[in-house]
Amino acid sequence: MLKVHHLNQSRSQRILWALEELGLPYQLIHYQREKTMLAPESLKKVHPLGKSPVLEDDGLILAESGAILEYLQETYDTNSLLKPEDREMRQQYRFWLHYAEGSLMPLLLMKLVFASLGKPPVPFGVRTIGKMLGQGIQKAWLNKQIETHARYIESQLAVKPWFAGEQLSMADIQMSFPIFALLSRGGIADLPHTQSWKKRVEMRPAWQRAIEQGGPLDLPGT
């Protein structure tokens, strides 16, 4: 049986969603974040990087969300339910699979870090300076970058309901974590098509079952 090493409030929610969409049985092994929000050291016993998600399949150990999703699609999605057949949409599919962590997520992680510089666990004596630094970088550069990406995503979802066409695909599953983070902490208003996409995701029975298994995905805001 497939085993998922799942960290609360993490990218591994995507793997649970994919497994539920494919109707695959799996064993869920839970881990809780430390007070620092880092993963526990016990995850390093599963994979040297100590990160989640990690998928075990008959002795094979896989890390990185995109790689896991591609493996699941190639191995278990025999009817290509989660990968488009159309050539153009396959290019879109491939783009979003890589874009999620390669382009969008680093900006959102920076947003979280810079917004936290005036708060614990930053030492009390430097929080004021840290807050000013964080706000300055966000205003001068980061917020503009995030808005560019948000508007691009919005324009794409304005012409199709899912990232790779008319049907849900692994591209949507990969994009789910950064989109939820974008809407939580991006600070960008007027994204109706992106909000509609999020609602369509949350209405899917497989998403709801994944949330029941892995816990709510309540990402911290700014």
CB count within 10 Å of CB 118 equals 17
Average pLDDT over residues 194-219: 93
Q: For residues 93 and 10, state if they share a domain.
A: no
Q: Examine the pLDDT at 199 and tell me if it is beyond 60.
A: yes
This prediction's pTM: 0.91
98 is written with which tokens? 């890589």
Nearest of 14, 25, 97 to residue 54 by alpha carbon: 14
pLDDT tens, 165-182?
A: 999 999 999 999 999 999
The model's confidence at residue 186, banded by pLDDT at 50, 70 and 90, is confident
Nearest of 179, 177, 166 to residue 88 by alpha carbon: 166
CATH number at residue 99: 1.20.1050.10
**CA dihedral angle for residue 184, residue 135, residue 117, residue 220, rounded to 10 degrees:** 0
Q: For residues 107 and 72, state if they share a domain.
A: no
Q: Which residues of 184-201 are buried (b: 16+ CB within 10 A; e: fewer)?
A: bbbbbeebebbeebbeeb
Within a domain: 55: yes
Q: For residues 24 and 106, state if they share a domain.
A: no
Q: For residues 56 and 159, state if they share a domain.
A: no
Residue 66: the pLDDT is 95
In the chain, % of residues over pLDDT 70: 91
45 is written with which tokens? 């016993």
Residue 128: the pLDDT is 74
Q: Domain limits at 173? A: 87-204
Residue 18: the pLDDT is 98
Q: For residues 97 and 176, state if they share a domain.
A: yes
Q: For residues 104 and 186, state if they share a domain.
A: yes
Average pLDDT over residues 110-119: 80
Average pLDDT in the chain:
89
Q: Examine the pLDDT at 16 and tell me if it is beyond 90.
A: yes
Rounded to an integer, what distance in angstroms lies between the CA atom of residue 23 and that of residue 190?
Answer: 35
Contact indicator for 14, 176 with CB cutoff of 8 Å: yes
Rounded to an integer, what distance in angstroms lies between the CA atom of residue 91 and that of residue 165?
Answer: 11
Within a domain: 212: no
If one counts the domains in the chain, the total is 2
Q: Which residue has the tokens 């999020």?
A: 198
**CA dihedral angle for residue 46, residue 48, residue 49, residue 54, rounded to 10 degrees:** -30
Question: Helix or strand or coil: residue 39?
Answer: coil
CATH number at residue 9: 3.40.30.10
Within a domain: 150: yes
Residue 141: the pLDDT is 82
